[in-house]
Amino acid sequence: MKEKIRCAVLGLGRLGYWHAENLAAKVKGAKLASVVDPLAGQAEKVARELGVAAFSQFPEEVMADPAIDAVIIATPTSTHAEMIKLAATHGKHIFVEKPITSRLDLADELIEVIEKQGVHCMVGFMRRFDPAYAEAKRRIFAGDIGKPIYYKGISRDPGSPPPEFIRHSGGIFLDLSIHDYDIARFLLDAEVESVSAHGRILLHDFMQEFSDVDQAITYLTFDSGAAGDIEASRNASYGYDIRGEVVGTEGTLMIGSHKYHDVHILNAQGKTHSIVPAFPQRFRESYLLEMEHFIESLRKGQKPSVTQQDGRAALAIAIAARQSFEAGAAVSLHTPTKPEDSSVV
Amino acid sequence: MKEKIRCAVLGLGRLGYWHAENLAAKVKGAKLASVVDPLAGQAEKVARELGVAAFSQFPEEVMADPAIDAVIIATPTSTHAEMIKLAATHGKHIFVEKPITSRLDLADELIEVIEKQGVHCMVGFMRRFDPAYAEAKRRIFAGDIGKPIYYKGISRDPGSPPPEFIRHSGGIFLDLSIHDYDIARFLLDAEVESVSAHGRILLHDFMQEFSDVDQAITYLTFDSGAAGDIEASRNASYGYDIRGEVVGTEGTLMIGSHKYHDVHILNAQGKTHSIVPAFPQRFRESYLLEMEHFIESLRKGQKPSVTQQDGRAALAIAIAARQSFEAGAAVSLHTPTKPEDSSVV
Amino acid sequence: MKEKIRCAVLGLGRLGYWHAENLAAKVKGAKLASVVDPLAGQAEKVARELGVAAFSQFPEEVMADPAIDAVIIATPTSTHAEMIKLAATHGKHIFVEKPITSRLDLADELIEVIEKQGVHCMVGFMRRFDPAYAEAKRRIFAGDIGKPIYYKGISRDPGSPPPEFIRHSGGIFLDLSIHDYDIARFLLDAEVESVSAHGRILLHDFMQEFSDVDQAITYLTFDSGAAGDIEASRNASYGYDIRGEVVGTEGTLMIGSHKYHDVHILNAQGKTHSIVPAFPQRFRESYLLEMEHFIESLRKGQKPSVTQQDGRAALAIAIAARQSFEAGAAVSLHTPTKPEDSSVV
Amino acid sequence: MKEKIRCAVLGLGRLGYWHAENLAAKVKGAKLASVVDPLAGQAEKVARELGVAAFSQFPEEVMADPAIDAVIIATPTSTHAEMIKLAATHGKHIFVEKPITSRLDLADELIEVIEKQGVHCMVGFMRRFDPAYAEAKRRIFAGDIGKPIYYKGISRDPGSPPPEFIRHSGGIFLDLSIHDYDIARFLLDAEVESVSAHGRILLHDFMQEFSDVDQAITYLTFDSGAAGDIEASRNASYGYDIRGEVVGTEGTLMIGSHKYHDVHILNAQGKTHSIVPAFPQRFRESYLLEMEHFIESLRKGQKPSVTQQDGRAALAIAIAARQSFEAGAAVSLHTPTKPEDSSVV
């Protein structure tokens, strides 16, 4: 096993900073060797905070640096393809935030270069590493609910990101539901065959400008005979609300709770516990767990459990959902083993 | 207030028998005067069991009997229209099980005769009287979640009714989801504008013969700007599972639990409580509460809170859902105030 | 099986009225033949309301009436002994509210006369008939938690009864904890050997006058080797709070929840459900279920499942708890099979 | 603020190892400078694993080392007094596992030397740092339940430690209930006035040899007028069960749940979630949080929030509980501000 994986983090927004923090101090077997951000001064500031030796404004520098084994790409989605190609051609292993990219043809190009260069690529579907989802996978795999026949997902943000974020987000299916598309594939162990999507603006009228909605539902059918529905919402005024359910032939399995603190107060208003307010309180730990998996996989020379193919598969579903939403009709997917088929895009 | 409402129950299957039992012994202000069932001996048997003075094989007898104030119609759906017309023309008040009938044109005819004859008609959407749904309505009406913007319903049967029932059921949208269609209108206080429906057979292949499915989802938009999704399933191997949720601008409200007994056992397998096994354990009480409302309304000379118009509205949604499911496209509804418009049927 | 048990209810306070209502309309096989209350006009008023043929101010009248099979004694505790003796000597079956009486020597006298006269006597420990406690008994009996080794009970009233009630209540151990003493015997299937009790006034200073407390704990050891603790409180500002737990060698079983409606509201304050406000909302149904058991037992000529011996056993524990509380030391009990032994009283 | 607190960990059993791990890698502002264990080779092994520069078999070495700022004492309780005195006289700050020591006169000596030497001393009542207990404190302090009037604690181990541990444990009150004694003082913000304790061996007969029990209850009264009861058990076959409750004049607050994974499985057996199996799964994080507090306090030159006085107060309650259990009568405590008073020991 390799002693240390020397990493560079590219993009020091919230997620990039978390990855940098984790690699600097918490992930065994990792060494954070460099941090990169195009914003003047940002990389230097983070490097100082985390005690990292090197920093840069230019991704090309770390890509060319033989002292770097792996890059963590947390830059805007629009730059993912370029970063991945650069990293792969320099022989760096890759961790890239979801979505892997925003076009299927690009995704296919990336898969080709990644596989040709023989590097490992992991896509940041961190929910798979959340203790509850991971336990769900184990229980389903153990046969505890029989054969899985239905996936039901709810992902509700406590409000909308700002208009500038929405403008570049790719829409609610690509930005938010993609987590459920990945988890549905993961938990059902099946591929999506057809997608129907609906949605409406319930509260955030500004989304009209971006042809986006703040409330959506996706109905999926799977090649295993299963089906599923996935709700996405920007309208949960009460907190951050992530729920999953897998119905099986011998039972059902529910994932998640809204509970923030294990404290209940009972008074004249009733019995109350506080609710997870936002994304960091719910999934911060998952970012550490996924990075531990990435580093451990590299140290053992193994493929990570979530790859570029998973990134492509979830992207294909999200694109089909968007198409279905616009067309008002179901869209069929072909399996990701035949990426030359263009029926989706 | 009238001393006693003299009732006749028509159709002595499970629901009819429950209504008869409730009217015979538990509903204040009611007198069960007669029971009717076409099956030879069935009415006599029930009359003896419940201590009812009169019984018959022929609905016409009680319809013509001046000693009867109200009829409870629990006969097969295909007979509802004839029974309602007969009752209304004889000046009897009417309680009819859902669905009021299975065709919109018939529903309009029934509404006309009911209103012309000036009798009261209540449709058996008993969920409105369930203590949890009734409390939900009170809390929403009180403004506790702000303006309602989304309804989410789940109705899962612990298995499929037998093929003969499915054959005559009108399909999953009319038979099962209709409860959620009514409750969505009730809780959102809004009318449905468009319907999209999807479904698949997950387990019960015999349903193919009847062009029915055992798992379905309906997506709805409402004239208030709200939306909603409703899952229906015959595949809940673990028990009877009815859940509802109304998202509002200032919070969300969840209805229902799976808990049967307030007893938890903690052992090496975990912490466990039993699950409501089936429909009677969940809703038996609601049948009593709805009948108390019907009788009390009649005694006070008031219109019941769920009328023929509600019966028609839910029917229109169910029919549109079926059409959408078959066509693979959204179906628009016009408001029930313009029943002459035929865009739905 | 006897067709109908003709009953008289004595004492028309809240509980007596509930018993009368249940016997008049809801208990199969019962006929409420008479109601009795010493308060002028009260019996007549109730008789009219419930449609009962006879009423009286004088218990002796119904005791002597050959048309009465059973009496329900819901008069003040101080009159129980006299009423029971009167009923037994007239050959009436007896249902008596808890506690059976307030002195052990009297209890022994009553047991003697009841057994000599060969009538049945049931004591109103209605918790045994609550669906949750009844299910707990079934699960424990089925071996689901192994051998029971510990009982933990909490009984909290939402506030104190008025001073006049407290004055005549016999104190918190006899009035409130006696329910848990009975349930502990019932669920552990064991007899108490020693009792230690502690308590303090936390909020209601007026109780000093009556040498009573508003918060108490009883520690019990059982002849099976088990132990237990029982909290009693008049200080639950938030609602009515009844919980029970039985720890066994292979698991633990918890009874009860605080939930009133199956409705949760999630908003900025957290996730909230309402709490059972008071005694009637929690146990009203149990009064019906216990009365159905009493009547069915009589119709079958069987002994009810909660007898005068159970009444005496719980009384002995309550008296010992009071003695322990006053003495500051444990008090030993001898088994109820040797009532001549006076070590307790 | 000091850059780094240089620490030595004494005693490398489970807890000592956790402290060492946390100080080596996770606690900001700390440097693990040395590890000490009397067992030959143990310190060296841990030093290698955690990358610590120095190790020793002899506490005296680190005590005399000027490059050490603070010592973490995780050695057997019987050695605490000697270690604390040694550390204080060498001017080291002290973190000591609970109980601070096992005799009150010794505790008073330690307090004297700690205060004379002007070092800081924190006692490892890690529950105070558990997110649920910490949130409870905040809510109570904020007045959310009015004035606290009752504390109810349950601490159940999933089984008994081995006989050799029990022999040296000081008994169930000192070893297990002491956590609740501390938390009761913390949450009620009050001092104990009197203690009554009861207990019994329910399953582990070997404890007779050590005059210990596997099930106990302590009843407490507080100088604020409050009261409380605390259950301790070694008999929870189903898992690790820690619960707390504080009743206030305007509500009650409940701490803790048994849930391990946020995953529920619903099948024919009911709805089940897994239970926290043991102590590490429940409190591992609290050990990190308490150490972060200790180090941050030292860096800021502030007194930690749990001091030698808290260690003595909980010890006094535990000793009184033991005395009460043996004597069968309540034992009074004098407030810790008068340690010269010997009424307790």
Please report whether residue C163 resides in a domain.
yes
Specify the 3-state DSSP secondary structure of B39. coil
Q: Which of D202, D249, D252 sits opposite C226 (nearest CB)?
A: D202
Quickly list H helices, chain B: 14-21, 42-50, 59-64, 77-89, 104-117, 131-141, 163-169, 172, 178-188, 279-299, 308-327
By C-alpha distance, the chain A residue nearest D244 is: A263
Asked if A135 lies within 8 A of D261 by C-beta distance, the reply is: yes
Choose from C26, C253, C259, C262 for mutation: most chain B CBs within 10 A.
C262
Name residue, tokens 């914003």.
Answer: A39
| pLDDT above 80 for B170 | yes
Q: Check CB contact of C224 with chain D, cutoff 8 Å.
A: no
Sign of CA dihedral D165, D170, D172, D178: negative
- The answer to whether residues B161 and B90 belong to one domain is no
Query: In this structure, are B75 and B94 located in the same domain?
Result: yes
A264–C contact, CB cutoff 8 A: no
Comparing CB atoms, the residue among B144, B255, B267 nearest residue C145 is B267
d(CA D12, CA D19): 9
Give the whole-angstrom CA distance, residue D268 versus residue C174: 42
B344 assigned to some structural domain:
no
* HEC assignment per residue over chain C: CCCCEEEEEECCCHHHHHHHHHHHHHCCCEEEEEEECCCCCHHHHHHHHHCCCEEECCHHHHHHCCCCCEEEECCCHHHHHHHHHHHHHCCCEEEECCCCCCCHHHHHHHHHHHHHHCCCEEECCHHHHCHHHHHHHHHHHCCCCCCEEEEEEEEECCCCCCHHHHHHHCCHHHHHHHHHHHHHHHHHCCCEEEEEEEEECCCCHHHHHHCCCCEEEEEEEECCCCEEEEEEECCCCCCCEEEEEEEECCEEEEECCCECCCEEEEECCEEEECECCCHHHHHHHHHHHHHHHHHHHHHCCCCCCCCHHHHHHHHHHHHHHHHHHHHCCCEECCCCCCCCCCCCC
C262–B253 C-beta distance less than 8 A: no
B275 to D266: CB separation less than 8 angstroms, yes or no:
yes
Question: Does C139 score more than 60 pLDDT?
Answer: yes
D326 and D204 both lie in a single domain: yes
Give the ipTM: 0.93
Report the gap between the CA of D66 and the closest CA in chain C (Å): 51
Of the partner residues B135, B264, B266, the one whose CB lies closest to the CB of residue C263: B135
The pTM score is 0.94
User: Given an 8 Å threshold on Cβ–Cβ distance, is B275 in contact with D271?
Assistant: yes
Best mutation target, A272, A274, A281, to test chain C (most C CBs within 10 A): A272
Residues D74 and D110 in one domain: yes
C-chain residues near D248 (CB < 8 A):
237
Whether the per-residue pLDDT at B335 is higher than 90: the answer is: no
Q: Minimal Cα–Cα distance from C241 to chain A, Å? A: 10
What's chain D look like in SS3? Answer: CCCCEEEEEECCCHHHHHHHHHHHHHCCCEEEEEEECCCCCHHHHHHHHHCCCEEECCHHHHHHCCCCCEEEECCCHHHHHHHHHHHHHCCCEEEECCCCCCCHHHHHHHHHHHHHHCCCEEECCHHHHCHHHHHHHHHHHCCCCCCEEEEEEEEECCCCCCHHHHHHHCCHHHHHHHHHHHHHHHHHCCCEEEEEEEEECCCCHHHHHHCCCCEEEEEEEECCCCEEEEEEECCCCCCCEEEEEEEECCEEEEECCCECCCEEEEECCEEEECECCCHHHHHHHHHHHHHHHHHHHHHCCCCCCCCHHHHHHHHHHHHHHHHHHHHCCCEECCCCCCCCCCCCC
Show residues of chain B in contact with A215, CB under 8 Å: 149-150, 227
Number of A/D CB contacts below 8 angstroms equals 78
| Residue of C215, C227, C241 with shortest CB distance to D227 | C215
A335: left (phi over 0), alpha (psi -120 to 50) or beta: beta
With beta carbons under 8 A apart, name residues in chain A contacting B328.
329-330
Tell me the average pLDDT across B197-207. 98
Q: Is there a single domain that holds both residue D121 and residue D157?
A: no
Domain that holds residue C238: 131-285+311-332
CB contact under 8 A, D273 and B270: yes
Do D95 and D226 lie in a common domain? no
Which of D145, D262, D271 to mutate to probe the A interface, most A CBs <10 Å?
D262
Q: Are residues D200 and D328 in the same domain?
A: yes
CATH number at residue B23: 3.40.50.720
User: Hey, is A297 helix, strand or coil?
Assistant: helix
D270 with B273: Cβ contact below 8 A = yes
pLDDT tens digits for range D164-220: 999 999 999 999 999 999 999 999 999 999 999 999 999 999 999 999 999 999 999
Assign residue C147 the CATH number of its domain. 3.30.360.10
- Asked if B74 and B147 sit in the same domain, the reply is no
Contacts of D135 in chain A (CB under 8 A): 261, 263, 274
- Preferred mutation among D235, D272, D274 to probe B, highest tally of B CBs within 10 A: D272
The count of structural domains within chain D is 2
Interface test with B, best of C265, C266, C269, C289 (most B CBs within 10 A): C265
d(CA C283, nearest CA chain A) in Å: 19
**Cβ atoms within 10 Å of B14's Cβ, excluding its own:** 11
Cβ neighbours of B146 in A, within 8 Å: 237
pLDDT tens digits for chain A (345 residues)? 778 999 999 999 999 999 999 999 899 999 999 999 999 899 999 999 999 999 999 999 999 999 999 999 999 999 999 999 999 999 999 999 999 999 999 999 999 999 999 999 999 999 999 999 999 999 999 999 999 999 999 999 999 999 999 999 999 999 999 999 999 999 999 999 999 999 999 999 999 999 999 999 999 999 999 999 999 999 999 999 999 999 999 999 999 889 999 999 999 999 999 999 999 999 999 999 999 999 999 999 999 999 999 999 999 999 999 999 999 999 999 754 444 443 443
pLDDT reported for residue D3 = 86
Distance from CA of C127 to the nearest CA of A (A): 23
In this structure, is residue D339 part of a structural domain?
Answer: no
Residue A182 falls within a domain, yes or no? yes
Q: Are residues A102 and A64 in the same domain?
A: yes
User: Does residue A343 belong to any structural domain of this protein?
Assistant: no
CB distance A269–C273 less than 8 Å?
A: no
B235 and B300 assigned to the same domain: no
- Please give the mean pLDDT across all residues of chain D: 95
Whether D237 contacts chain C with CB within 8 A: yes
A238–C273 CB contact, under 8 Å:
no
Q: What gap in Å lies between CA D325 and CA A140, rounded to an integer?
A: 49
pLDDT digits (tens, 9 = 90+) for C175-189: 999 999 999 999 999
DSSP A27: S
Write out chain D residues lying below 8 Å of B277, CB-based.
none
C341 within domain boundaries: no
Q: What's the pLDDT score for residue A339? A: 40
Does position B247 have pLDDT exceeding 70, yes or no?
Answer: yes
What is the tens place of the pLDDT at every residue in C18-48?
999 999 989 999 999 999 999 989 999 999 9
CA C300, C306, C310, C312 torsion: positive or negative?
A: negative
pLDDT one-digit tens code per residue, B114-123:
999 999 999 9
Tens of pLDDT along D245-260?
A: 999 999 999 998 899 9
pLDDT in tens, C89-118: 999 999 999 999 999 999 999 999 999 999
Q: Which candidate in C156, C263, C264, C271 is best for mutational testing of the A interface (most A CBs within 10 A)?
A: C271
User: Of D239, D268, D271, which has the smallest distance from its Cβ to B266's Cβ?
Assistant: D239
| Chain D residue closest in CA terms to A28 | D25
In this complex, the residue of A25, A262, A266 whose CB is nearest that of residue D251 is A266
Q: Are D22 and D52 in contact (CB under 8 A)?
A: no
Tell whether B275 is within 8 A of chain D (Cβ). yes
Which of chain C's residues have a Cβ under 8 Å away from the Cβ of B144?
265, 267
| Domain membership flag for residue C343 | no
Q: Is D272 on the interface with B (CB under 8 A)?
A: yes
Answer whether residue B229 is part of any domain: yes
Residues 6+ apart with CB under 8 A from A182: A98, A125, A127, A128, A306, A310, A313, A314
D neighbours by CB contacts (3+ pairs under 8 Å)? A, B, C
Do A93 and A242 belong together in one domain? no
Of D136, D257, D261, the CB nearest to A131: D261
Q: Is the pLDDT of residue B28 over 80?
A: yes
Q: Which two tokens stand for residue D321?
A: 């509980």
Nearest CA in chain D to A250: D267
Chain C residues in contact with B263 by the CB 8 A cut-off are 132, 135-136, 139, 253-255
Cross-chain residue pair B261–C26, CB shorter than 8 Å: no
Tell me what pLDDT residue D219 has: 98
Percent of the residues in chain B that have a pLDDT greater than 70, as a whole number = 97
Answer whether D238 touches C (CB < 8 Å): yes
Q: Between chains, do A275 and C274 touch, taking CB under 8 Å as contact?
A: no
Whether the CB of A139 is below 8 Å from some CB of chain B: the reply is: no
Comparing C-alpha atoms, which of C41, C38, C48 is closest to residue C74? C38
Question: Do the chains contact at D146 and C237, CB–CB below 8 Å?
Answer: yes
Are C146 and C61 found together in one domain?
A: no
Q: Which residue of A has its CA nearest to B251?
A: A238
Q: What is the C-alpha separation between B171 and B201, in angstroms, rounded?
A: 12
Q: Chain A 168-207, CB below 8 Å of chain B: which residues?
A: 196, 198, 200, 202-203
pLDDT of residue D335: 52
